Amino acid sequence: MYVPGEVERVLFTRDQLEERVKQLGEQLTRDYAGKDPLFLCVLRGAVVFFSDLIREVECPMNIDFIRAVSYIGTESGGEVTVDLMKAGDVSGREVVIVEDICDTGRSLVEINKALGAMKPKSLKTVCLLDKPSRRTVEFKPDYTGFVIDDLFVIGSGFDCDGRFRNLPYIGVYHSIEE
């Protein structure tokens, strides 16, 4: 297994992730039966989780992609920028936002605000990870994979300055720079 020096320890193995994603998929399959939802992937961090998750949801759906940017290195940078698609795509739909992590909560508050203004029929959020101890604004995901402590993680979509997204597990990051 490829374990770069920046991985202090493995937090969730590929098997653990797969197992939990399967459970979330079963829950979403039950909750969205007969609803024809629109699943929205928040780029880029959620892309691995998203592609695993949608294949576990057994109902008709559409998918699309949005973007939110705030992190610089391991620090959450000031403003959150949200890039959405056309309002017509969301209006009247049962929308499920799929995000990698809820950290300070600011991204998801902004995303929910922006999408909420487009008048979806319903709006729910799925997060693979939740770091509630880091919250600076109030937000609770409707579905959560795992709750974690205040750790900076990499792998399985999670990056540090754009790297490590391809690791097939989630690891705790530590800097190897002097």
**Candidates 8-16, 49-57, 97-105, 115-123; binding stretch for ligand IMP (CB under 6 A):** 97-105
What values do phi and psi take at 40, rounded to 5? Answer: -110, 120
Site for Mg ion in 40-79 (CB under 5 A): 45
**Candidates 13-21, 48-56, 86-94, 100-108; binding stretch for ligand IMP (CB under 6 A):** 100-108
- CB neighbours (10 Å) of residue 15? 9
Minimum gap (Å) between residue 29 Cβ and ligand IMP: 25
Per-residue b/e over 90-121, b at no fewer than 16 CB within 10 Å?
A: beebbbbbbbbbbbbbbbbbbbbebbeebebe
- Considering the rule CB under 5 A, would residue 157 count as an interface residue with Mg ion? no
Helix (H, G, I), strand (E, B) or coil at 132: helix
Minimum gap (Å) between residue 67 Cβ and Mg ion: 9
- Considering the rule CB under 6 A, would residue 100 count as an interface residue with ligand IMP? yes
| Interacting residues toward Mg ion by CB under 5 A | 45
